[in-house]
Chain A
Amino acid sequence: MRVSRDGVIGLILAALSLGLLVQSFSLPQLPLTPVGPGFYPRIVLGLLALAGVALFLQNVIANRADTAAVDEVPAETGFWRVPLLFGIVAAYIFLLPVLGYRLATILFVMLVMPAIEWPRSVQAWAAVISISIATSLVSHLVFERYLLVLLPRGSLTGW
């Protein structure tokens, strides 16, 4: 029995659904209603667990039918950029309440632009710096001044 990506996902999904299903039995029963807050989740989670098992079985059957089949091996891509970008976004989000919107946004854009496409000239670096500053200041002006959307203040900077 050979299990590939979809099969593993199916099993994980079934396990998570069953975990929440068990959790739903610990929810209290309301006195005035015939069904409690766990009633509907149990139906959905039960069906989702079954769907996870179905995905696993479909994968096993498909692999058995096509023994030569292997998981798709992607061509060389820029996948390495994705975790890097998620890392920068995570850092930005956690720095927002510390540095404040304006400073954190300048740093964020300044990091994301070279992470996607490395600047190869002085002009390109100048563009990175100017776009970073412009993005932060223009968006701050538009949202705070004109759209009246309050943006995060920095606990360290006070603005």
Chain B
Amino acid sequence: MLELLGSALLNIMQWKYLLPLFLGTLMGVIGGAIPGVTITLTIIILLPFTFGLDPLQGLAAMTGVYVGGSAGGLITASLLGIPGTPSAIATTFDGFPMARAGEPGRAVWLGIWASCFGGLIGGLFLVLVTGPLAAIALQFGPWEYFSLFILALAMVAGLAEGSLTKGLISAGIGLVIAMFGNDPVGGIPRFTFGSDFLGGGFPFLPVLIGIFAFSQIMTDVENLGRSKTARESAQVRGSLRVSQLKVIGEIISRPFLLLWSTIVGIAIGVLPAVGGSAANMLAYDQAKKLSRHPERFGKGTPEGIIASESANNANVGGSLVTIMAFGIPGDAVTAVMLGAMTIHGIQSGPLFVSQNADLAYGIYAAYILAHPLMVLIMAVAAAIMLRISQVKLSILAPIVLVLCVVGAYAVNNTMNGVYVLLIFGVLGYGLVRTGFPLAPLILGLILGEQIELNLIRAIMTDDNPWLFITRPISGGLLLVAVISVALSIWQHMRHTRRTASVEPDF
């Protein structure tokens, strides 16, 4: 196995593979860094260019986009507070406060190295344990998937600062948004009120861009007079120059965090329909719950950045294994890759690795090599990215808003996406202003359809509802979900007691 991987690494270092891999990684970093231009959009743009290449060249370029894009999102997440991609949502929670506190270099490089280490460990881990992971995932039925998604929601709702009720409501709003349009089982129009606009439901990307970008920009605009100094502190005092050894040391000194976040990323990546957006938030939640100082999360702690970024790059490895071993796309990006493989006449599935060993190990090698390439690109481009954060808000805001509008429009090339962007921009700002967390809403939106599909599938297979509890894996996942909610309540109560015991400082 390792011999095959070694020869594949040597093979991919040839210029004919290295160049597409490098260009793909560069495109991914740029696409990931621009809010509104997602990895999916970047890989779709790249797709036509791969048709003229040989299969490994094309798949290497796509793998590069995937790795580069997963890491690229951290730049805007840390420097602007707007995740360039959904897989960098949790990076904003601590990356942006750290950058604002005058350490943008530390925030960005912690993310870059965590992405690299998480991705590399994830790659190695997956090469070694592909078989056992596939065997576990194969045992999952709709009961297990349903319970897993409920667990994910319960965990992320627990991220809510201050109020678990608001976190759960936020998740519920996300689930409700996902209900509009045709129901996923029978295709019956639901809550459309006879409107064509609502007929197709709310497209995910414009909702995501609207909620996150608008709430961030509008809050910044609102606080312009009040928090100008806070905003400028990251710009004026900050530099991206940091001691690389020190940053690497910060990550290496937290081996359990790195390894656990990587495992969370891989596990989420392996499961279909749960992509990097869920992986980074779940890893963040885990890091917060397992931390000795959960109160530091959201205020610029390195743990938050390391957890989020190592998980989202490890998630890429998980998604790649799923597509290679089972032929199931883990997310929209791997769905495009699956399409490209089909165009090249490659049948993905259980026999893929044994029948196309050169190609399979070539993809592994491309995935592993894309990480040092990504670090190299970031080392050159990160300084340029800092300039973005140094631009005045009056210049930055209209440009970002224009990019958001373009991103929403490009989803279907219709104005509907742009209207959705505006509606959810207002909603997102309103929720932030009233203290509702946005992360559970987004996860509810992502998982909504899959939760419903698996619930209905389970009922159609066997109408005994106790199966959700009596099936060991499903029951175990639901138990963990209950424990997660209980832990959140306990943490909240402990925090309230501690706050109450401290004399107010007037």
The residues of A with any CB-CB pair to B shorter than 8 Å are 5-6, 9, 13, 17, 20, 23-24, 27-28, 30, 33-41, 44-45, 47-48, 51-52, 54-55, 58, 75-79, 81-82, 85-86, 89-90, 92-93, 96-97, 105, 108-109, 112-114, 116-117, 131, 135-136, 139, 143, 147-152
Contacts and interface: CB of A to CB of B under 8 A. Distances in A.
Interface of B: 41, 45, 163, 165-166, 168-169, 172-173, 175-176, 179, 183, 185-186, 188, 190-191, 214, 217-218, 221-226, 392-395, 397-399, 401-403, 405-406, 409-410, 413, 415, 418-419, 421-422, 425-426, 429, 434-435, 451-452, 455-456, 459-460, 463
Given A45-B176, A76-B225, 16 more contacts: A30-B186, A37-B186, A37-B188, A44-B175, A54-B165, A76-B226, A78-B221, A78-B222, A78-B226, A82-B221, A82-B222, A85-B397, A86-B425, A89-B422, A93-B415, A93-B422
Contacts of B214: 89
Contacts, number: 161
Given A48-B172, A77-B226, A81-B224, A34 B459 contact: yes
A33 B455 contact: no
A111 B185 CA distance: 46
B456 A150 contact: no
B188 A28 contact: yes
A116 B190 contact: no
Contacts of A5: 434
Contact of B405 (A93, A113, A116, A148): A93
A13 B191 contact: no
A9 B172 contact: no
Contacts of B409: 96, 151-152
Contacts of B166: 55
Helix, strand, loop or mixed for chain A's interface?
A: helix
Given A51-B168, A86-B426, A109-B399, A152 B415 contact: yes
Given A30-B186, A93-B419, A113-B394, A78 B406 contact: no
Contact of B398 (A55, A135, A148): A135
Nearest to A110: B398
A77 B226 CA distance: 6
A136 B173 CA distance: 35
Contacts of B176: 17, 20, 41, 44-45, 48
A82 B413 CA distance: 28
Nearest to A105: B402
Given A151-B406, A151-B409, A116 B393 contact: yes
A148 B415 contact: no
B155 to A, nearest CB: 17
B497 to A, nearest CB: 15
Given A77-B225, A81-B222, A151-B409, A44 B179 contact: yes
Given A33-B185, A45-B176, A96 B405 contact: yes
5 interchain residue pairs of minimum CB distance? A37-B183, A117-B394, A112-B398, A48-B172, A116-B394
Contacts of B190: 24, 27, 37-38, 41
A131 B395 contact: yes
A47 B415 CA distance: 34
Contacts of A135: 398-399, 402
Contacts of B395: 113, 131
B19 to A, nearest CB: 18
B130 to A, nearest CB: 34
Given A44-B172, A51-B169, A78-B225, A143 B426 contact: no
18 contacts: A24-B190, A27-B183, A34-B460, A37-B183, A38-B190, A48-B169, A54-B165, A55-B165, A76-B225, A76-B226, A77-B226, A109-B399, A114-B394, A117-B394, A135-B402, A136-B402, A148-B45, A149-B406
